[in-house]
Amino acid sequence: MVLAMCIYFLKSVSCELHCPSCDRIHCNPRTPTRLKCKGGVTTGICNCCPKCAKVVGERCGGDFSYLGKCDHGLYCHINKIFPKYLNVFATKRKPEGICKTAYDTDIGRS
């Protein structure tokens, strides 16, 4: 009964991100040239501050991509195997993944 109440509560909670305007966000660093990235540069959660893009094998995704976004030419591969009790969250929560190339998935299919 308690588990059912917890699941109901979590399903009913709205998870929205409200970002202030970019001029009100303090970015450190403010310019992408000051970053020392293994790959390219992307933006953070609110699309204001420069952040290093994730490269192959690094964690990515999550709610609002809080773990980061993958570099150009990569995608965030989500493991679609969820325990049955987590299926309720699949529509509300964004799963975490690992940055991969399209070539990585082609190998898995052969």
Give the count of domains, the chain. 1
Return the structure tokens found at 67. 């773990």
Closest CA to 67 of 78, 34, 108, 16: 78
Q: What is the pLDDT of residues 82-104, one digit of tens each?
A: 555 554 454 566 789 999 998 76
Estimate to the nearest angstrom the gap between the alpha carbon of 37 and the chain centroid.
18
Q: What is the pLDDT of residues 18-66, one digit of tens each?
A: 999 999 999 988 888 889 999 999 999 999 999 999 999 999 999 888 9
> Is residue 3's pLDDT more than 60?
no
Band (70; pLDDT cuts 50, 70, 90):
very high
Give the CATH number for residue 86: 4.10.40.20
List the domain range (segments joined by +) for residue 71. 2-109
Task: Yes or no: say if 19 and 98 are a contact pair by the CB < 8 Å rule.
Answer: no
Q: Tell me what pLDDT residue 47 has.
A: 93
